[in-house]
A and B are shown apart, each in its own frame.
Chain A
Amino acid sequence: MEWIGLIAAATFRSPGKALERDLQSGSLQTALEALADQYDLPPPRLPRVSLSDLQSAYVRLFAANPEGLPAPPYAGYALEGRLMGEAQEALEAFYNEHGLAPQEDWRDLPDHLAALGEAIALLSGTRPEAARALALGYLKPWLERYAEVVKREDSTGFYATVCTLLKNVLEAEDEARS
């Protein structure tokens, strides 16, 4: 679960220098391959994309798009079709129950995929069942709803690759545990 959370946390944040470094060093590619290998999935291949193209793609997919925002990156939104609803309230209560709280300088909603990913990563060491519940209860529904949309709309292929892998991994995880 930890790698699922870490990858989500890193890739669903607004792309910056840190992500660029991780792409250049190959560490993100390594992480994706390792995760795929863990679930017997074919190794994904991240496309080579400049930081400015990634930033532009991120805005068009997840922030503001003159053609309509394809994939609002909020877990509660995929569950309920609205922001700040009961799904998000439940998630906040869940965070609270497990000693997590958004940092004050986090300028987004608590069910943003980057925040959710980090929560999964943080819980995976000590509360693996809680991490799994978050991943399957919140991240997986979002991917089921929007991974295909991202694949269709992402001009860089970067987000499509990450979303497809995470979706396949979580489906495999769900199947294996059930």
Chain B
Amino acid sequence: MKLDRRRFLGLSAASVGAVAFGGRAAALQAPWAVPRKWYDGEVRTVFSYCENCFWKCGITVKVEGGRVRKIDGQKQNPKSRGRLCPRGQAGVAQLYDPDRLKRPLIRVDGSERGEGKYREASWEEALDYVAERMLKIKEQYGPEAVAWFGHGSGDSWFVEYLPAAWGSPNAAKPAVSICTAPRETASQWTFGRPIGGHEPVDWTESRYIVLIGHHIGEDTHNTQLQDFSEALRRGAELVVVDPRFSTAASKAHRWLPIKPGTDLALLLAWIHVLIKENLYDRDYVQKYAVGFEELAVHSNKHTPEWAEEITEIPAETIRTVAREMAAAAPRAVLPPGRHTVWYGDDTQRMRAVYILNALLGNYGMPGGFYLAKKPYLEKYPHPPFPLEPAAGGCSGSSGGEEEVPEGFKPRADKGKFFAKTTAIQELIEPMLSGEPYPIRGLVCYGTNLFHSIPNVPRTKEALKKLDLYVAIDVLPMEHVMWADVILPECTYLERYDDLVAIAHKTPFVELRQPAVEPLWDTKPGWWIARELGLRLGLEKYFPWKDVEEYLDTRLQLIGSSLEEMKQKGTLIQRGRPYLKDWERRRRNPFGTPSGKIELYSKTFAEHGLDPLPDYTPPMPVPQGFYRLLYGRTPVHSFAKTQNNWVLMELKPENEVWINREEGRSLGLRHAEYVWLENDAGVREGPVRVRLTERIRRDCVYLVHGFGHKGRGVRLAYGRGASDNALQTRYVLDPISGGAALRNNFVKVVKGAPRPQRKRIGQLVRERRL
């Protein structure tokens, strides 16, 4: 053999290097069978916070032998109180998911987007590639021609920090216009305060709770569920308004199976009863609210009988619930829910929810809404960005005049709706049409483009038209494998992120810190953002050399330090939860133009919007179709966790809920597989039928997040149906910019084959020999 062994070895010189030889060469007999209990080893505890939903529970990570062994709730953390849901505990399986992206990839020249042909690249090459193309787009079209999408805790680098420094107002999150925008906009213009990521409902002190399309128990927001359970234990009455007998409904004293799309009529009737029967809190309203007279006149027409015709809820039941609410007030509350983009009049519906709460006199009172306060936390003292971040967030949505700095363009969706924050779905169209100006590049951080934004075919067409599409993600989701450049981020257990400031009864700051080193050649988001920023000529906005310096500086400014936070995990401050706490300090919590709760909004009137909420019928359901409703399961988050084998063993697919009688009239059998086809002809599934009395006859229901089409996520692929694929239509809420998704209709198509999908456990077993 003529091969030069030394040189041949040099081919892989960067892999395993000999340090020294020693010891005995023992033959390995079944070398993988090592009976050992990790908890007998040296266990290190790391405080951080979870990423498996947006609740951001504080976690305690147990590390032994360089491996994450277990994740528990952080006792001192107000988001978890030592407890954790299945998703949080299953984070270990996500960390060691073999399907993870492992190193930067660049799409092979000549291949098409979506074809999935890639070559590996170094970080230097990949980042240089991205920067070069971004600068070219900027030169040709301007900085606004690059859009930035983000979802998850690390998104602040990619929808706030970097785009604001770069100069693009087109940064957006699905968490706004596909989720919370209506409730936030309504809250800002009613109370002058945000709802925020941690809904400030004083659950445990409440004695009467009315949930409207609120899926508590199915969305599993850890401490919210703890508090809700405690409220029920203390004897709170529960009313659930939902076309579906949800998990919460199963705990309720009353379930009101409302006709979908008519919630606002019910709310207006309750307002009517409170006013006409003089059941509202007159003193509270006089002291804290404006616009009552206009509201009283406006509500004349909203009688329970009028609402009964619309909602199919008996007028007497409407009256009874209103009277019960009033009897329990101010310890009676209608929580705002989270995903509020339903029918298109959503900001007005949320205004009605808040007006009702105000009439009950519960805002800022025990048992109603507490006044969440943000913790004191300073920004890093970098030079001011040329633009204000526009993506918003749970507390960012408002409206009114908007100043665009000289030399920059307004958002591409400006003028379509009232709120200031961008709407992610409205940034797709400019990619296709070039109107009002072209968007030619997209940086997408952790946003599942094909499972969150309505009208997936349109999104795919838009991606094809871009000059540059960069995906920053952890898993090779279908949309990721369309990108020109894939930048693999390490998981939340392997990285720092920016500090999280939680507005709460007891405001607090949480630290995310790495429990273990990043696997493979993956990098944290902050590092990717900084390296990209330096290449884009934005070095003055990155005066910090690494994230530890960045975090320590922010914490030093409030009298703490990174070292202290590493030890504590959570930094808790004092709050001012009730109105009396504000009054004692002679402070006004209401940031509205009038400085009071605005039952009637003059600002809305000035902008041509209804100053008081009124009912508009939803889009009618076409003959032969059902309204498509969707929701959550406690063991999955969005479309993010369906490749986690632990969670998939618990819930491997979704089902379509169909009323039992209705199903029988269609000739359906329980557990058979069907297709769902929407009124635009899009077919989805196969999906298993669940015939149940727990849903009305005029709608069907799917748990969101299933029906993955990308085979790159091997456990998630091909299980159940995607509600998002069927949501080809949305109605734009003209106030918040929310994309109302419950305007899609499906019919059930029999004859779908039972999918030949293996059980999750079997798939996992088959990986091995």
Contact with A along B481-517 (1 / 0, CB 8 A): 1000010000000000000000000000000000000
B558 at the interface (CB under 8 A from A): no
Pairs across A and B, CB under 8 Å, 21 listed: A18-B11, A22-B11, A55-B120, A63-B102, A74-B98, A78-B767, A78-B768, A80-B32, A81-B768, A82-B764, A82-B767, A86-B36, A97-B24, A98-B22, A98-B23, A100-B19, A106-B15, A109-B519, A112-B15, A137-B31, A145-B768
Instruction: Name the CB-closest residue of A to B709.
Output: A66
**A83 CA / B102 CA spacing, docked (Å):** 13
* B481 near A64: Cβ-Cβ < 8 Å: yes
Q: Is B3 an interface residue (CB 8 A)?
A: yes
Instruction: Judge whether A68 and B711 touch: CB under 8 Å.
Output: yes
B472, chain A: closest CB distance, angstroms:
14
Q: Which residues of A contact B765 (CB under 8 A)?
A: 81
Q: Could you tell me the distance between the alpha carbons of A60 and B1 in the complex, rounded to whole angstroms?
A: 32
A-facing residues in B27-49 (Cβ within 8 Å): 27-28, 30-34, 36
Stretch of B111-119, B236-244, B592-600, B745-753 on the interface side: B111-119
A123 to B611, CA, bound (A): 80
Interface residues of A in 1-30 (CB under 8 A from B): 2-3, 6, 9-10, 13-14, 18-19, 22, 27, 30
Please provide the chain A residues from 86 to 115 with a CB less than 8 Å away from any CB of chain B in the complex: 86-87, 89-91, 93-95, 97-103, 105-110, 112, 114-115
Q: Which residues of A contact B11 (CB under 8 A)?
A: 9-10, 13, 18-19, 22
Report whether B32 and A76 are in contact in the complex, using a CB–CB cutoff of 8 Å.
Answer: yes
- Assess whether A64 is in contact with B15, with CB atoms less than 8 Å apart: no
Secondary structure call for the A interface: helix
Complex formed: what's the CA distance from A59 to B488 in Å? 14
Report which of A79, A122, A126, A130 forms a contact with B16, defined as CB distance below 8 A: A122
Chain A contacts for B10, CB-based, 8 A:
18
* One of A27, A107, A138 near B2 (C-beta < 8 A): A27
CA distance A86 to B19 in the complex (A): 23
Which listed residue, A13, A98, A133, A144, touches B15 by the CB 8 Å rule?
A13
Q: Shortest Cβ distance from B591 into chain A, in angstroms?
A: 47
Q: Are B14 and A105 in contact (CB under 8 A)?
A: yes
B16 pairs with A133, CB closer than 8 A: no
> B263 on the interface (CB 8 Å rule)?
no
Q: Is A72 an interface residue (CB 8 A)?
A: yes
Q: Is B67 part of the binding interface, using a Cβ–Cβ cutoff of 8 Å?
A: yes
CA distance A52 to B108 in the complex (A): 8
List A contacts of B22 (CB < 8 A): 98-99
Task: Give chain A's interface residue range (CB within 8 Å of chain B).
Answer: 35 or more
- Residues of A participating in the B interface, judged by any CB pair closer than 8 Å: 2-3, 6, 9-10, 13-14, 18-19, 22, 27, 30-31, 34, 52, 55-56, 58-60, 63-69, 72, 74, 76-87, 89-91, 93-95, 97-103, 105-110, 112, 114-115, 117-119, 121-123, 126-130, 132-134, 137-138, 141-142, 144-145
Given contacts A64-B481, A80-B768, contact A118 B16 (CB under 8 A): yes
**CB < 8 Å neighbour of A141 from B5, B34, B117, B769:** B769
B143 beta carbon closer than 8 Å to chain A: no
| B96–A84 touching, CB < 8 Å | yes
Name the distance in Å between B760's Cβ and chain A's nearest Cβ: 12
Centre residue among B21, B22, B765 by max chain A CB count within 10 A:
B21
Question: Nearest 8 CB-CB pairs, A to B?
Answer: A87-B32, A66-B116, A130-B25, A81-B767, A81-B768, A127-B25, A9-B12, A66-B481
Other A-B pairs beyond A98-B21, A108-B102, 4, CB < 8 Å: A66-B711, A77-B768, A115-B15, A134-B28
The answer to whether A82 touches B98 (Cβ under 8 A) is: yes
User: In the complex, A72 Cα to B712 Cα: how many Å?
Assistant: 12
Min Cβ gap B124→A in Å is 13
B652 at the interface (CB under 8 A from A): no
- The residue on A at minimum CB distance from B765 is A81
Most buried by B among A58, A60, A89: A89
B28 touches A94 (CB 8 A): yes
- Does the CB pair B31–A83 fall under 8 Å? no
Is the pair A64, B9 in contact by a Cβ cutoff of 8 Å? no
* Residues of B contacting A: mostly: loop
Contacts of B31 in A (CB 8 A): 87, 90-91, 94, 133, 137-138
Residue of B nearest to A37 (CB): B1
Chain B: residues with CB nearer than 8 A to chain A? 1-5, 8-12, 14-28, 30-34, 36, 65, 67, 96-99, 101-103, 105, 108-109, 114, 116-120, 476, 478, 481, 486, 519-521, 710-712, 714, 717, 764-769
Within the complex, the shortest CB–CB distance from B728 to chain A, in Å, comes to 23
Hey, which chain B residues are within 8 Å of A3, CB to CB? Answer: 1
A68 pairs with B717, CB closer than 8 A? yes
A103: contacting residue among B17, B21, B764, CB under 8 A? B17
Q: Smallest CB-CB separation from A119: which chain B residue?
A: B16
Known: A67-B711, A134-B28. A99 touches B21 (CB 8 A): yes
- With a CB–CB cut-off of 8 A, which chain A residues contact B9? 6, 9, 118, 121
Task: Tell me which of A30, A65, A128 contacts B3 (CB under 8 A).
Answer: A30
Q: Is the CB of B102 within 8 A of A79?
A: no
Instruction: Report yes or no: A110 in contact with B20, Cβ–Cβ below 8 A.
Output: no
From A14, A22, A114, give the contact of B120 (CB < 8 A).
Answer: A14
For residue B21, which residues in chain A have a CB less than 8 angstroms away from its CB? Answer: 98-99, 126-127
Q: Which of A13, A64, A89 meets B65, CB within 8 Å?
A: A89
Bound together, the chains give a CA A132 to CA B717 distance in angstroms of 39
In the complex, A155 Cα to B226 Cα: how many Å?
Answer: 54
- What's the Cα separation between A107 and B19 when bound, in Å? 18
- Contact, CB under 8 Å: B12 / A59: no
- Closest residue of chain B to A105 (Cβ to Cβ) is B14
- Whether B15 contacts A56 by the Cβ 8 Å rule is no
Q: Are A65 and B67 in contact (CB under 8 A)?
A: no
For the complex, give the distance between the alpha carbons of A137 and B769 in Å: 12
Residues of A within 8 A of B116 (CB): 60, 65-67
Cα distance A10–B427 in the bound complex, in angstroms = 46
> Does the CB pair A107–B8 fall under 8 Å?
no
- Taking a contact as CB atoms closer than 8 A, the residue among B23, B67, B102 that contacts A99 in the complex is B23
Q: How far is the CB of A27 from chain B (nearest CB, A)?
A: 5
CA–CA, A94 to B699, complex, Å?
60
- A160 and B624 CA atoms in complex are apart in Å by 53
Q: How far does the alpha carbon of A141 sit from the alpha carbon of B139 in the complex, in Å?
A: 54
Q: Is the CB of A64 within 8 A of B16?
A: no
The interface residues of chain B lying within 8 Å CB-to-CB of A6 are: 5, 8-9
Q: Which residues of A contact B2 (CB under 8 A)?
A: 27, 30
Q: How far is the CA of A45 from the CA of B114 in the complex (A)?
A: 33
Residues of A with C-beta under 8 A to B20: 99
B481 proximity list for chain A (CB < 8 A)? 64, 66
The distance in angstroms between the C-alpha atoms of A117 and B96, with both chains bound, is 23
The CA-CA distance from A72 to B520 in the complex, in Å, is: 13
| Minimum Cβ distance to chain B for residue A131 (Å) | 8
- Closest Cβ–Cβ distance, residue A157 to chain B (whole Å): 17
Contact B714 A69 (CB under 8 A): yes
The reply to whether B34 and A72 contact each other, CB–CB distance below 8 Å, is no
B25 touches A98 (CB 8 A): yes
